[in-house]
């Protein structure tokens, strides 16, 4: 069983935005799980070269990418990005061994992850970060096992790992329950369904990005939040279904998605 525990990461000592605070406020409303923060006081920043250099460059999102894996591997539970809004609890998923969801149909997301302790996938991913190294301008990273494949984020790494290590996994945007893990559609944890509710909405606050306070981003966030208040039909989900269909074509492994959807 997955423990009734929520993990999240917060590094860099920056103030949480109002949107983040509102998202996190839904967690205790929807669950009675223990909530644990991982930060500078309980994480080993000397864990490996990749983490040390990420800290030096203040790439806090990449620091979080590593320690969310460590937290789940050592303790089990549910990991949430701080910009995830819960719409129901995870009780029905606690019998899973490991679960994630799509962010786009062509890419696995890591804003919501659940696992039992010591799951093989988490152990493998931690090992990959042990051998990871940055390019010269710290925009991409590589792992020795995968040669010259470059990764821009942990979504890329997890997507490629599952395609490489699990021959029965199809990168097609569909919910799949395999032998020791499950992958859910983007409606489950990312954008929500057009009608009804799933488990979560990922608000994509992007607190680590330089343009997080840009006028365009603020307006977009406000429109989405107003749309979310319209009853019966989830207008926000309708909008995001359209925009995500366009965005996924720019994802790193869109070609793998096309291959898997063409070979049904």
Mean pLDDT estimate for the chain: 91
Contact (CB, 8 A) for 178 and 169 = yes
Tens digits of per-residue pLDDT, 84-112? 999 999 999 999 999 999 999 999 999 99
Least confident interval from 114-118, 168-172, 227-231, 239-243: 227-231
**Considering only CA atoms, which of 180, 163, 164, 181 is closest in space to residue 172?**
163
Q: According to the model, what pLDDT value does residue 262 have?
A: 87
Tens digits of per-residue pLDDT, 120-152? 999 999 999 999 999 999 999 999 999 999 999
**E strands within 5-60?**
5-9, 34-38
Side-chain-side CA neighbours of residue 237 (13 Å): 21
The phi and psi torsions of 200 (rounded to 5 degrees) equal -160, 165
- Joined together, the tokens standing for residue 193 give 């369904």
Q: What angle do CA 230, 249, 241 make, to 5 degrees?
A: 15
- Spell out the domains of the chain, with CATH numbers in brackets: 5-262 (3.90.550)
Tens digits of per-residue pLDDT, 237-257? 888 999 999 999 999 999 999
pTM to 2 decimals? 0.90
């Amino acid at each position: 069983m997955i423990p009734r525990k929520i993990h999240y990461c917060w590094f860099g000592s920056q103030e949480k935005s109002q949107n983040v605070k509102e998202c996190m406020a839904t967690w205790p409303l929807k669950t009675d799980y223990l909530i644990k923060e991982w930060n500078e006081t309980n994480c080993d920043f000397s864990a490996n070269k990749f983490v040390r250099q990420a800290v030096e460059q203040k790439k806090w999102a990449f620091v979080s990418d590593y320690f969310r894996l460590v937290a789940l591997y050592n303790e089990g539970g549910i990991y949430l990005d701080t910009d995830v809004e819960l719409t129901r609890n995870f009780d029905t998923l606690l019998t899973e061994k490991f679960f994630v969801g799509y962010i786009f149909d062509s890419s696995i997301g890591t804003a919501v992850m659940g696992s039992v302790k010591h799951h093989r996938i988490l152990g493998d991913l931690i090992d990959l970060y042990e051998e990871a190294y940055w390019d010269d301008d710290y925009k991409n990273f590589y792992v020795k096992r995968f040669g010259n494949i470059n990764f821009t984020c942990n979504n890329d790494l997890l997507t490629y790992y599952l395609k490489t290590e699990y021959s029965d996994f199809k990168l097609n945007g569909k919910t799949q329950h395999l032998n020791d893990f499950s992958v859910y559609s983007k409606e489950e944890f990312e954008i929500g369904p057009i009608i009804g509710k799933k488990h979560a909405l990922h608000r994509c606050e992007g607190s680590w990005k330089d343009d997080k306070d840009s006028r365009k981003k603020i307006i977009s966030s406000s429109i989405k939040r107003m749309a979310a208040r319209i009853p019966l039909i989830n207008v926000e989900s309708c909008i995001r279904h359209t925009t995500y269909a366009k965005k996924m074509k720019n994802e790193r492994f869109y070609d793998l998605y096309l291959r898997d959807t063409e070979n049904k």
